[in-house]
Amino acid sequence: MAPDDELPVPGETYFAAEPRSRSAPRELRFLYRGELLTFAVDRGVFASHGLDPGTALLIENLGVGRAERVLDLGCGWGAVGIAAAKSARDGSVVLTEVNRRAARLAEKNLARNRIRNAEVRVGPFFEPVAGETFHTIATNPPYRAGREGVLRLLGEAADHLAPDGRLLVVGKTSQGIRFYQEWLSAHFPGTIEVVGRGSGYRVLEARRRAAAGSS
């Protein structure tokens, strides 16, 4: 758990467009595939104290192909999107975030890590990528925003997946991940897999099946 001085002000969530928490920037680093990545982080942004176990597990299980188009939905300060961009060197990554402080950090972190095949867009849910599709959508959903918000996110995902595209969702039992796994099983029938487990978290993969006869 983060120290008290890293948490949002009372009543605020990380899903707020404009955090009211006093800014207190810091730097953190972690290794990804043998490369040391550096990040600027701040209060009022999810995981300001360091890479959280769920996001670390999601990164570990991204499985992104070299030429894929990837969406990091709710990117925070950009850890997942930057890892995806490193893997999809001949592809592209879009990072979206409603929290403007987090979006500014993500943009700064793309530059810090010399990422040229990714961009940050600001807005809630899938609004910043209206009409676009992706091979992989990865998200650590805004559980603090409530079940209705998470279900909206999951419900809109299929329209933004390319044929046979993948949705990757990470969560833990206390966040209701078993409920969301059942929900995904009903809406992406026959495609749900648990592709990663650790520290009480699981990473779920759901696929949009290609239409019969499509190439």
pLDDT at 9: 59
Query: What's the domain range around 140?
Result: 24-207
At residue 15 the predicted structure's pLDDT band, cuts being 50, 70 and 90, is confident
At residue 143 the predicted structure's pLDDT band, cuts being 50, 70 and 90, is very high
Q: Is the pLDDT of residue 145 over 60?
A: yes
Average pLDDT (129-153) is: 95
**In this structure, which long-range contacts are made by residues 211-214, counting pairs with CB atoms below 8 Å and at least 24 apart in sequence?**
211/163, 214/163
10 Å CB burial of residue 99 (0-12, 13-18, 19+) is: buried
pTM, to two decimals: 0.92
In a domain, 10, yes or no: no
> Is the C-alpha dihedral spanning 171, 84, 32, 120 positive or negative?
negative
Q: Are 19 and 101 a contacting pair, CB within 8 Å?
A: yes
pLDDT at 21: 85
**What does the alpha-carbon distance between residue 140 and residue 29 come to, in Å, rounded to a whole number?**
20
**What does the alpha-carbon distance between residue 105 and residue 121 come to, in Å, rounded to a whole number?**
12
Report the domain count for the chain: 1
Q: Is the pLDDT of residue 1 over 50?
A: no
**What does the alpha-carbon distance between residue 171 and residue 148 come to, in Å, rounded to a whole number?**
16
In a domain, 187, yes or no: yes
Q: How many CA atoms lie within 13 A of 164 on its CB side?
A: 7
In a domain, 18, yes or no: no
In a domain, 75, yes or no: yes
pLDDT digits (tens, 9 = 90+) for 147-197: 999 999 999 999 999 999 999 999 999 999 999 999 999 999 999 999 999
Mean pLDDT score of the chain, rounded to an integer? 92
- Which residue type, as a one-letter code, is found at position 179? F
CATH number at 62 reads 3.40.50.150
pLDDT at 211: 64
pLDDT digits (tens, 9 = 90+) for 54-93: 999 999 999 999 999 999 999 999 999 999 999 999 999 9
**What does the alpha-carbon distance between residue 71 and residue 73 come to, in Å, rounded to a whole number?**
6
In a domain, 19, yes or no: no
Residue from 4, 44, 41, 3 nearest 20 by CA: 44
Q: Residue 214's Cα: distance from chain center in Å?
A: 29
Q: Is the pLDDT of residue 7 over 80?
A: no
CA distances from 10 to 13, 39, 149 (A): 9, 26, 20
pLDDT at 144: 87
In a domain, 6, yes or no: no
Q: Which alpha helices (H) appear in the chain, and where do they start and end?
A: 53-60, 79-87, 100-112, 147-157, 177-187
In a domain, 115, yes or no: yes
